[in-house]
Amino acid sequence: MKKKVKVVAAVIEQEGKVLCALRSSQMSIPNVWEFPGGKVEEGESLQTALEREIEEELACSIKAGSIFHDHTHEYEAAVVQLIALKAKLIEGAPAAQEHEELLWLPKESLASLVWAPADVPAVEALIEEKKVLNS
Ligand SMILES: Nc1nc2c([nH]c(=O)n2[C@H]2C[C@H](O)[C@@H](COP(=O)(O)OP(=O)(O)OP(=O)(O)O)O2)c(=O)[nH]1
């Protein structure tokens, strides 16, 4: 049976833009865009896990909020449950420690990137959110 991993990811919004992170060629599932985050450890809450991962990956502090999207994707090697939480920057500016690149994009431009397959439904929901707000 494939390994199942529970992953939290941050939808960080600032001035109408969303923070997107490019996985490097050294990472698993390389060269695709994602929301920064990582695996939830045993006994950790989703929020605590995400705040820890962002400190490690982006060297800044966030306050993790509620669940925005929850989707399970089956990759070749593992099954990933990707739980996206809305988050706010509270200290520092995101600086890539492991990622190839960081990019702030307006929601309507998110579809221009090539996303990790598990992220596609959350990206579509964000684009939809923008359309609803504008209608
Ligand atoms: N952080 C994050 N991971 C994601 C997203 N979408 C997605 O499929 N993933 C996958 C990639 C990884 O296999 C796993 C997250 O684990 P991780 O962030 O600790 O990544 P990692 O490169 O250290 O993983 P690994 O090498 O230890 O397998 O979830 C996303 O939006 N954010």
Q: Is the CB of residue 3 less than 8 Å from the CB of residue 81?
A: no
HSE-CB of 47 using CA atoms within 13 angstroms? 9
Task: List, in order of start, the domains of the chain with CATH numbers.
Answer: 3-134 (3.90.79.10)
pLDDT category at 135 given cuts 50, 70, 90 is: confident
Task: Return d(Cα 9, Cα 83) in angstroms, integer.
Answer: 6
Q: What is the mean pLDDT of residues 122-133?
A: 90
* pLDDT, mean over the chain: 97
| ipTM for this prediction | 0.93
Over residues 17-71, the pLDDT tens digits come to 999 999 999 999 999 999 999 999 999 999 999 999 999 999 999 999 999 999 9
HSE-CB of 107 using CA atoms within 13 angstroms? 19
Q: What angle do CA 79, 87, 106 make, to 5 degrees?
A: 90
- Tokens matching residue 77: 């090697």
Q: For residue 133, is pLDDT > 80?
A: no
Q: Is the CB of residue 131 less than 8 Å from the CB of residue 55?
A: no
Give me the amino acid identity at 94: P
> Percent helix, strand, coil in the chain (nearest 5)?
25, 45, 30
**pTM, whole model, 2 decimals?**
0.95
Q: Residue 92: what pLDDT? A: 98
Q: Which residues share a beta bridge with 102?
A: 21
- Using a pLDDT cut of 70, give the percent of the chain over it: 100
Q: What distance in angstroms lies between residue 30's CA and the mean position of ligand 1's atoms?
A: 10
Over residues 76-96, the pLDDT tens digits come to 999 999 999 999 999 999 999
Which is the closest atom of ligand 1 to the Cα of 84?
Answer: 31
- Tokens matching residue 112: 């221009």
For ligand 1, pick from 18, 29, 74 the residue to mutate: most ligand atoms within 8 Å of CB: 29
Q: Residue 87: what pLDDT? A: 98
Residue nearest to atom 19 of ligand 1 (CA): 38
